[in-house]
Amino acid sequence: GAVVSQHPSWVICKSGTSVKIECRSLDFQATTMFWYRQFPKQSLMLMATSNEGSKATYEQGVEKDKFLINHASLTLSTLTVTSAHPEDSSFYICSGQIWGAEETQYFGPGTRLLVL
């Protein structure tokens, strides 16, 4: 149980284009979803917290206009990297949290983004 999927698993795009990454909770309702990014050999860095039906809360230093997050339903959150640049190349991971069980997060498999 508590499976989270991400799509696509990897994407290559040209600089200046936008990329959308989907995060779905397959067998539970995720009242809260988190988006992380990870650079090679570094920690998972929280980018933003999204609650279903409301605006995402971004961590300090994360540009909300560049990383658009939508949490339209209890099973789907999307992250759109707008006007991507090579420095946005990273591994993006989402996680879902079940209401009433906030002590645990269930992670997706991640999306590898490469911006050329």
Partner 1 sequence: DQQVKQNSPSLSVQEGRISILNCDYTNSMFDYFLWYKKYPAEGPTFLISISSIKDKNEDGRFTVFLNKSAKHLSLHIVPSQPGDSAVYFCAASGWGKFQFGAGTQVVVTP
Q: State the residues that interact with partner 1 by CB under 8 A.
A: 4, 6, 32, 34, 36, 41-46, 49, 91, 93, 95, 97, 102-110, 112
- Whole-number minimum distance, CB 16 to partner 1, in Å? 26
Q: State the SS3 of the chain.
A: CCCEEEECCEEEECCCCCEEEEEEECCCCEEEEEEEEECCCCCEEEEEEEECCCCCEECCCCCCCCEEEEEEECCEEEEEECCCCHHHCEEEEEEEEECCEEEEEEECCCEEEEEC
Q: Which is nearer to partner 1, 16 or 26 (CB)?
A: 26
Nearest residue (CB) to partner 1, 44 versus 68: 44
Q: How far is the CB of 38 from partner 1 (least distance, A)?
A: 9
